[in-house]
Amino acid sequence: MSKAEVKKVAVIGAGSWGTAIAGVLSGKGLHTVLWSHNTKHSAALDRERENKKYLPGFIFPPLLEVSTDLQETVSGAEVICMVVPSHGYRAVFEQLVPFLETGVFVVSAVKGIENSSLMTMTQVMTQTLGDDLKNKKITLAVLSGPSFAKEVAQGLSTLVTIGCNELENARFLQRVFVSERFRVYAAQDMIGLEVSAALKNIVAIAAGISDGLGYGLNSRAALITRGLAEITRMGVAMGADPVTFSGLSGLGDLVLTCTGDLSRNRTVGLKLGEGKKLSQILDEMEMVAEGVKTTKSVHDLVKKMDVDMPILDQVYQILYNNKDCSAAVTDLLTRELKVE
């Protein structure tokens, strides 16, 4: 199948990122349907031709449709892009499975790890599909990289990576998603893309905490560097290619999320460093900061896999055990001296 043969793409999840991806696809002339689980939200999207709740200021391209009917959304779609938060991913995908057609491509654009199973999103899909994965010839993929939804919607240049086990399939999806301002690289290391995309959010919380405490640019640079080492360590333990972590989904997304003012996870860290309580911060946020839940998942993974991740441990202590932010930084800096 060539890009020219793709007649329809479905985007599942009408938050800011799902809306931005749908805008890219429909903006290049692909018939795109954006699914929202919320009837009122979907009606507002359809009526206003704009996602005023999550991505205000950007009018939908003419070819973008909106629906709350999951079967209708994916019917006839050759490519489905899942953009549902990790904590609700399995439930939505389970509803979707009966409607998946033979030969469909399902792309996860979600940056998180499921709390209950400690699985990445492609692992969740593989488990949920069972024999259907092979019998229906379904191809799973991952879309990841440094990409704030607002900048994508603005048409600012963005570079991402799409990964598939078979490079030929990754190259096909590369052609589907690429546009003049949305450059897509092809890769095969799906687990590496997913691990780096999920874990960078934890480091972003740590960087935000450091900034909130006023610790300066030296500390932020150190957190990014040592955070990348921790992410790589966990990824390799899970079977990833270490080279992946120096790429767009690794270092690229990590730098963006730890330094960008549009980063929800960095914002959580900033407010924690300034003395606010986590519950208050989350109540004030309209959108999901995946790093909060991912911290719990990765903390459990660390215990299971015995991987050394001191930054993750201190973020976990702050988020889930109410540890003082300054004390956490002190404990990090006074650890036993190491060889880099």
Bridging pattern class, strands 158-163 and 139-144: antiparallel
- Decide if 200 is catalytic: yes
Rounded Cα distance between 25 and 28, Å, is 6
Instruction: For residue 115, give every residue at least 6 positions away whose Cβ sits within 8 Å of its Cβ, in sequence order, or none.
Output: 86, 87, 293, 296, 297, 300
Residue 324: CB atoms within 10 A of its CB come to 12
Written as one letter, the residue type at 123 is Q
Strand order from edge to edge, sheet including 182-187: 64-67, 31-35, 8-12, 79-82, 105-108, 139-144, 158-163, 182-187
Specify the residue for token string 């989350």. Answer: 282
Angle at 195 between CA 175 and CA 261, to 5 degrees: 80
Rounded Cα distance between 179 and 2, Å, is 15
Options 8, 111, 200, 293, the catalytic residue: 200
Instruction: For residue 58, give every residue at least 6 positions away whose Cβ sits within 8 Å of its Cβ, in sequence order, or none.
Output: 19, 23, 50, 51, 153, 154
Written as one letter, the residue type at 68 is T
Q: Which residues are catalytic?
A: 200
